[in-house]
């Protein structure tokens, strides 16, 4: 069934996601507790697209990238969240988040087979900005720790979904064209978000 979905329809659906308002940033929505933290990455299309894109890229490359890149993303995102919670400024957070969506989507679309260490550096660098955006919204209470745990678990889940989407076609000896098309859709949606 998945193989029957046209690339055009997939790109259209991703563009629809991009057209929704980004709610995963300062001043948007509730910001306390585990459930709010878990929901937070799901509400901002830029965060959601970047995390799915990282999962797709890791799944496309395979090998140790399957666990190293998600671990790097989550670990550095938590560090960025800590920086945001502590009020440490980080310039260009929003442009870097949008750049991450475009870059990771393009890497999938072009089937870039980066060395595992380089890929970890790239996704970790982008994760710092994603984490900082989340961290600036975490309350300075014990619930803030719960919130941090929630958004880390949601991120791991989203990364896992991206990996699963990427490895299923390979398991069934299908063309990687679907995964690459999804990557192109992620990059296109990122460009649409950046264009406003």
| Structure confidence by residue, pLDDT tens digits, 84-108 | 988 999 999 999 999 999 999 999 9
Q: Which residue has the higher pLDDT, 48 or 6?
A: 48
Taking alpha carbons only, the member of 17, 56, 63, 9 closest to residue 161 is 56
In this prediction, residue 163 carries a pLDDT of 96
Is residue 27 pLDDT above 90, yes or no? no
DSSP string, 92-141: THHHHHHHHHHHHHHHHHTT----HHHHHHHHHHHHHHHHHHHHTTS-SS
- pLDDT average, residue stretch 146-173: 90
Residue 3 has pLDDT above 70, yes or no: no
Tokens of 46: 């830029």
- The C-alpha atoms of residue 80 and residue 47 are separated, in whole angstroms, by 14
Point out the least confidently predicted range of 18-22, 109-113, 132-136, 183-187: 18-22
pLDDT of residue 136: 86
SS3 62: coil
Lowest mean pLDDT: which of 14-18, 54-58, 93-97, 180-184? 14-18
> Contact, 137 vs 25, CB < 8 A?
yes
Task: Band the pLDDT of 176: cuts 50, 70, 90.
Answer: confident
Give the model's confidence band at 146: pLDDT under 50 very low, under 70 low, under 90 confident, else very high.
confident
Q: How far, CA to CA in Å, does 62 sit from each of 56, 57, 87, 113, 167? A: 10, 8, 37, 9, 8
pLDDT for position 156: 96
Local confidence band at 15 (pLDDT 50, 70, 90 cut-offs): very low
**pLDDT computed for residue 20 by the predictor:** 40
Measuring CA to CA, which residue among 130, 123, 124 is closest to residue 96?
130
pTM of the model as a whole: 0.81
Helix (H) or strand (E) holding 164: helix 142-171
pLDDT at residue 120 greater than cutoff 90: yes
Residue 113, pLDDT > 70, answer yes
């Amino acid at each position: 069934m998945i193989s029957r979905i046209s690339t055009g329809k997939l790109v259209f659906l991703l563009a629809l996601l991009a057209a929704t308002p980004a709610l995963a940033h300062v001043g948007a929505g509730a910001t306390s507790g585990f459930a709010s933290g878990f929901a937070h990455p799901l509400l901002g299309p830029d965060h959601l697209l970047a995390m799915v894109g990282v999962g797709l890229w890791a799944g496309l490359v395979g090998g140790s990238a399957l666990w190293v890149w998600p671990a790097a993303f989550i670990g550095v995102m938590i560090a960025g969240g800590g920086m945001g919670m502590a009020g440490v400024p980080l310039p260009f957070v929003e442009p870097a988040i949008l750049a991450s969506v475009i870059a990771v989507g393009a890497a999938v679309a072009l089937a870039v087979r980066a060395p595992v260490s380089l890929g970890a550096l790239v996704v970790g660098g982008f994760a710092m900005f994603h984490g900082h955006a989340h961290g600036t919204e975490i309350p300075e209470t014990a619930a803030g720790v719960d919130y941090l745990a929630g958004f880390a678990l949601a991120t791991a889940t989203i990364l896992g979904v991206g990996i699963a989407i990427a490895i299923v076609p390979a398991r069934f000896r299908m063309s990687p064209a679907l995964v690459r098309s999804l990557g192109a859709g992620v990059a296109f949606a990122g460009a649409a978000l950046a264009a406003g």
